[in-house]
């Protein structure tokens, strides 16, 4: 990259050369370390977006950097025509940490979900010609044609019709709606244990258990999209482990590689046979290089008890945000979260606060229009949380002062 270019020149360059599918914030990021990132103009930011729940161990974590350096000198890629040791090592770790199944590797969350959808189709075909998958309103499963058809948000699907048939959307956190939607064509239920993009929506404690029961009763697959909730994000290695159930299929991506592109579909040993040789593939799926990063991530999480740390920091962060919520009831609706997947629902649109945070050196994002979302690196500490809370306090305090100081 030519570092003599200015931020403005780079943004102009994007307009000319990069398809403008994203509403980007006008900063050029050049460096990251731990929970901090720096832009081209040398400004420092506390990063509570973490690549949208991707940089699980923060930026440039030594264990990831060392693993990549070591592996890059050995073997970066050979394709899935051959066996490699890092792929097996990673599959073993994922299987051992979850429900003992087998893993199909891809490069992203959407692709992991594509694999799950294809598996469900083959399962349905083999069990009475069924093909319908029940998914939830406000869900998010990706942007490929199959996964956006699975997604329960019209704004994601708009102008891409005709959508892939075979998905039925029902209200999230409503077991009777699911029961009513099941018919002789249904083969699977696909659901995020906690909805991320939909607004950090946490279902009732017995929701996943209820879905499990319905799946058992009607011989359906329970497919959990843990792309955002997985890899210790919610305080256990996988969010489903909070609910005393076991899925048939689970998908992962985001935090698994702490920045390296990897997706994984985990299926119970029996269901994994639904995808025999030739039925699915990915050229880049689980190269030795990305696997070396993901192995380092999982080992670090287990060895350093990062799940325990996430629980502690999550509770601390939520308590800090609750204080703000009590202080500014005219702006804040409430705070919800599990581990370090935290949402602060507002009574106003969140875009202004996100921009003010940026100007004050804090990266957060807003989902569903009015939910501030905090997905920090799992290694965040109390001082960093304090600093984020101070910045938010200043900004929201300023807003209520503008509105006439109407906070309690």
Ligand X SMILES: Cc1ncc(COP(=O)(O)O)c(C=O)c1O
Q: Closer to ligand X by CB, 253 or 371: give it.
A: 253
Q: Closer to ligand X by CB, 107 or 325: give it.
A: 107
Q: Closer to ligand X by CB, 233 or 407: give it.
A: 233
Nearest-approach distance from CB 152 to ligand X, in angstroms: 12
For residues 292 and 260, give the distance between their C-alpha atoms in angstroms, rounded to a whole number: 10
Nearest-approach distance from CB 110 to ligand X, in angstroms: 3
Nearest-approach distance from CB 303 to ligand X, in angstroms: 26
**CB 106: neighbour CB atoms within 10 A?**
25
DSSP 8-state assignment for residue 44? E
Nearest-approach distance from CB 199 to ligand X, in angstroms: 12
Coil vs helix vs strand at 398: helix
Nearest-approach distance from CB 251 to ligand X, in angstroms: 7
Q: Closer to ligand X by CB, 142 or 343: give it.
A: 142
Nearest-approach distance from CB 109 to ligand X, in angstroms: 2
Q: State the residues that interact with ligand X by CB under 6 A.
A: 52, 108-110, 113, 140-142, 192, 196-197, 225, 227-228, 253
Q: Which residues contact 42 (CB under 8 A, 6 or more apart)?
A: none
Nearest-approach distance from CB 195 to ligand X, in angstroms: 8
237, two tokens = 């290695």
**Cβ-closest position to ligand X:** 109
Nearest-approach distance from CB 90 to ligand X, in angstroms: 17
How many residues are recorded in the chain?
A: 408
319, two tokens = 């308590």
Residue 275, CB half-sphere, CA atoms under 13 Å: how many? 23
Q: Closer to ligand X by CB, 117 or 335: give it.
A: 117
**Cβ atoms of 68 and 288 closer than 8 Å:** no
Coil vs helix vs strand at 49: coil
Q: Closer to ligand X by CB, 71 or 135: give it.
A: 135
Q: Closer to ligand X by CB, 95 or 153: give it.
A: 153
For residues 147 and 92, give the distance between their C-alpha atoms in angstroms, rounded to a whole number: 27
Q: Closer to ligand X by CB, 146 or 389: give it.
A: 146
For residue 154, CA distances in Å to 115, 150, 157 come to 23, 11, 5
For residue 389, CA distances in Å to 80, 88, 320, 346, 357 come to 46, 42, 7, 15, 11
Instruction: Find the DSSP H helices in 203-287.
Output: 207-218, 269-272
For residues 110 and 253, give the distance between their C-alpha atoms in angstroms, rounded to a whole number: 9
């Amino acid at each position: 990259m030519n570092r003599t270019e200015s931020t403005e020149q780079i943004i102009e360059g994007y307009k000319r050369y990069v398809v403008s599918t994203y509403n980007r914030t006008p900063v050029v990021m050049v460096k990251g370390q731990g929970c901090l990132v720096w832009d081209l103009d040398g400004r420092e930011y506390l990063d509570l977006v973490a690549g949208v729940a991707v940089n699980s161990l923060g930026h440039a974590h030594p264990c990831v950097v060392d693993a990549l350096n070591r592996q890059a000198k050995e073997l970066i890629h050979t394709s899935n025509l051959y066996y490699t040791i890092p792929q097996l090592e990673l599959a073993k770790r994922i299987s051992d940490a979850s429900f003992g199944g087998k893993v199909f590797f891809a490069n992203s969350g959407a692709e992991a979900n594509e694999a799950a959808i294809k598996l469900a189709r083959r399962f349905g075909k083999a069990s009475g010609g069924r093909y319908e998958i029940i998914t939830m309103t406000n869900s998010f499963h990706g942007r490929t044609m199959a996964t956006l058809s699975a997604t329960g948000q019209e704004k994601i699907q708009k102008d891409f019709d005709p959508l892939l048939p075979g998905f039925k959307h029902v209200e999230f956190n409503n077991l009777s709606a699911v029961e009513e939607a099941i018919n002789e064509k249904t083969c699977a239920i696909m659901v995020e244990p906690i909805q991320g993009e939909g607004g950090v929506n946490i279902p009732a404690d017995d929701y996943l258990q209820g879905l499990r029961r319905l799946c058992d009763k009607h011989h359906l697959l329970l497919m959990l999209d843990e792309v955002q909730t997985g890899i210790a994000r919610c305080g256990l290695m996988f969010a489903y482990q909070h609910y005393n159930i076991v899925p048939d299929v689970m998908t992962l991506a985001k935090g698994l590689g702490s920045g390296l592109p990897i997706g994984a579909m985990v299926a119970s040993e029996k269901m994994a046979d639904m995808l025999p040789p030739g039925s699915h593939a990915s050229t880049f799926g689980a190269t030795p290089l990305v696997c070396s990063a993901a192995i380092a991530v999982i080992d670090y999480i287990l060895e350093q008890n990062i799940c325990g740390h996430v629980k502690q920091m999550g509770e601390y962060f939520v308590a800090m945000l609750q204080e703000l919520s009590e202080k500014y009831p005219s702006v804040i609706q409430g705070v919800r979260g599990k581990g370090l997947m935290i949402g602060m629902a507002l009574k106003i649109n969140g875009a202004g606060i996100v921009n003010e945070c940026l100007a004050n050196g804090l990266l957060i994002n807003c989902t569903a229009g009015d939910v501030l979302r905090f997905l920090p690196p799992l290694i965040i500490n109390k001082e960093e949380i304090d600093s984020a809370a101070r910045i938010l306090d200043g900004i929201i305090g300023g807003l209520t002062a503008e509105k006439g100081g109407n906070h309690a």
